Amino acid sequence: MSLPTRNNPYSFNEFLEWRKNVDYYADDPFIQKVVKHYCGDEWQKVDEEARSVSKKASFRWRDMAESIAWPEKRPYMMHYDGHHNRIDRIVRPRETEIMEREIFSEAFFSDHTSPWVKLIKMFIIYQNGEACVSCPITCTEGMVEMIKKYPDTPEIKDILQHCQEGIDGVFAIGAQYLSEIQGGSDVPSNLLEAVQEGDTWKLYGTKFFCSATHADYAMVTAKPVGSEDVALFVIPSWLPGNKEKEIRNGYTIDRIKWKMGTSELTTGELTFNGAVAYPVGPLNRGVANVAGVVLSYSRLTVGISAASFMTRAAREAKKYVQFREAFGVKTGQFPLVMSQLNAIEKLAKQTVAGAFKLYRDFLSLEGGLQGGLAKDQDISIRKKRFMIRELIMLQKITASWDSTDVIRTAMSLFGGHGVMEDFSALPRLYRDSAVNELWEGPRNVLLVQMHRDFQRASEWYLPAEFIAELLKGAEPKTIFEFAKEFVVLISYPSLLQMSDETIAVCEQWDQFCHKLYHCYQSLAMKEVESDV
């Protein structure tokens, strides 16, 4: 019963007060348990670092991320200065620059930062969405890991030092420019031309999706003149001494895209007209190195950022249904609401556990990631490297897909307020999540890649053995069922030949991969829950 009154006293303050004071790590017993379980001997150090970074990410950086998300604060281009010099300055809010400086000072990729500490910092910081830092952190990692394998020249060594340890306290930011107007998935179709002029390589042509355009360096794919092979290069955005003068390294930023998500970050369309570039690795190994190393790191990070987004969405939805009332009861008292909340909480938790389990396996991989399919002499290492490669793709497609679903469900639990950009961060996370699904290899491309990989590896890694290893710890019946379906799907010759039958197999393959990774995640959850 409610009688009319002209002074409606309703307020969200109780919920807002809770939300304002949430510490992403200290107030999340589940992630603490995950850290304790998966980080081995190091867990106390990881826990300590997590508590420290969470004090910044949960409050100061959260507020900054929210503030720069307003449409009027979006970055914009200033192509020329007042004296008609082409500068292509990306104008970003001061808050973005301050937050970026503070976050990159966490020295994620320093030799003094352990991989687990780096991972937990990412997990916590990514709860604030893209915020013009998530993509740059990811791209910098891929670049660092790639050039670490080929520190062949003084220029590359300097770039590595700048990204890993910083110069005068400033840590460099990396980007990755692969996609061209005619194709993003199809990197071998790249047309950007690389020309050797004397001792120097220079790039000519265009790239169509260049995120983190403000970065100091970028990995760029291009074909040496006369070759069909794609090579990998690193370019500085400004040659030494030119950053202050705003003279870019032989390229222009033609425009920045207007996009649905990750809007605090620019994605540019670039024309190269003689950009100085340094080759990274053999000139005929660009595609293998990009897919095997650079993109694999980015895909791993998409998994962890999906876990972060979901964690925040589920946490805020849970509190909201405990606060909000409808028809005289808390909305959390409605069984339908509870069933949806339970589902997203479960998915969020299993995504976190799966990401940490995969990272543990990844860290124990001798020699790290490599370009192309594993060719190690030692068959057990070869199998392990293959397993990690495939799990990274499985995680990428599953976690990024689930993330968007989880956030949408969380928004729906907020009712109409769920879609209000100034009510919560959920709409922004939702838009960012949709982008996560697309970059670093869209779903279909990875599904086809995995199918091809399994066929090629099946001679030395029997499909049933692969499934048994991936699902180690599951019920024998579960392993048997998955293996049976897997063997049939892998025996289908190609997912690329158009027919009704292939379309049906593709549909089944898509669902199978999702289900398989969910099973891996639920085993990861079981491991965490088995700890007392």
3-class DSSP state of 69: coil
**Closest to 162 in 3D by CA, of 238, 264, 257, 247:** 238
Please give the structure tokens belonging to residue 454. 């399994």
Is residue 52 within a helix (H) or strand (E), and if so which, with residue range? helix 43-55
Least distance CB 440 / ligand FAD (angstroms): 6
Relative to beta strand 267-279, strand 217-224 is unpaired
Least distance CB 266 / ligand FAD (angstroms): 10
Least distance CB 172 / ligand FAD (angstroms): 16
Please give the structure tokens belonging to residue 477. 């019946």
Least distance CB 439 / ligand FAD (angstroms): 4
Least distance CB 96 / ligand FAD (angstroms): 17
| 141 backbone dihedrals φ, ψ, rounded to 5° | -60, -50
Residue with tokens 């304002």: 20
How far is it, in rounded angstroms, from Cα 285 to Cα 288?
5
Least distance CB 272 / ligand FAD (angstroms): 14
Instruction: State the residue number with the nearest CB to ligand FAD.
Output: 184
Are the C-beta atoms of 159 and 193 separated by less than 8 Å? no
How far is it, in rounded angstroms, from Cα 363 to Cα 174?
23
Residue with tokens 């390589």: 201
**Nearer Cβ to ligand FAD (331/433):** 433
Least distance CB 507 / ligand FAD (angstroms): 13
Least distance CB 483 / ligand FAD (angstroms): 25
Please give the structure tokens belonging to residue 141. 């990692």
What is the rounded end-to-end Cα distance, in angstroms, of the chain?
Answer: 47
How far is it, in rounded angstroms, from Cα 156 to Cα 197?
19
| Residues at the interface with ligand FAD (CB under 6 A) | 176-179, 183-186, 209-211, 259, 262, 267, 435, 438-439, 442-445, 448
Least distance CB 221 / ligand FAD (angstroms): 8
How would you label 489-517 residue by residue, b for 16+ Cβ within 10 Å and e otherwise? Answer: bbebeebeeeeeebeebbeebbebbbebb
**Closest to 302 in 3D by CA, of 227, 397, 416:** 397
How far is it, in rounded angstroms, from Cα 372 to Cα 19?
45
